[in-house]
Chains A and B, each alone.
Chain A
Amino acid sequence: SQLAEENSWALSVHEGESVTVNCSYKTSITALQWYRQKSGKGPAQLILIRSNEREKRNGRLRATLDTSSQSSSLSITATRCEDTAVYFCATDSNNRIFFGDGTQLVVKP
């Protein structure tokens, strides 16, 4: 069974619009992380939000965490073409870090 999963396979927006990627998870966590992976590259971490936090920001990115519903969201404002990538959430429980299936985001000019 998947321990973390994003709720959309793919999203498409136009540059400048905002977009939200959602994630649900099935295990108790110490932290939840959001990563972005561009084609042919290793993933890069965007935000780490700990289980005692509800919201975290990083520039145009905002992550939320709801431990009662075991869900998280990543919002990107003022999207740019270079935001095109696959976005993963990952649950972190004592060195066992499980990634969701990912959401492909395409930002069109």
Chain B
Amino acid sequence: EAGVTQSPRYAVLQEGQAVSFWCDPISGHDTLYWYQQPRDQGPQLLVYFRDEAVIDNSQLPSDRFSAVRPKGTNSTLKIQSAKQGDTATYLCASSLGTGDEQYFGPGTRLTVL
């Protein structure tokens, strides 16, 4: 069974540029999560979906970040105007249902110069 896949694996931007991250969860998993993991810190939840619906996006900086999961499968996380403080690894995870074990993808390591 394929795991969670993410692309790109790395991104380097100048401040003010936009970037999109893509995530393909494990087939059959209805819940998908996006985490931000700054260097030397634990993952911090940004947003999560059950199917195509956003369940919690309270930690997503809504002025610059957006996330969608239009068909309840793949998901895209977008940063509209990146800041140096956005430098982190962005992890996607999926689970069979909310509260079940989460499986993490390899992450996208973002550097904003």
Q: Do A and B come from one complex?
A: no
A residues at B contact (CB < 8 Å): none
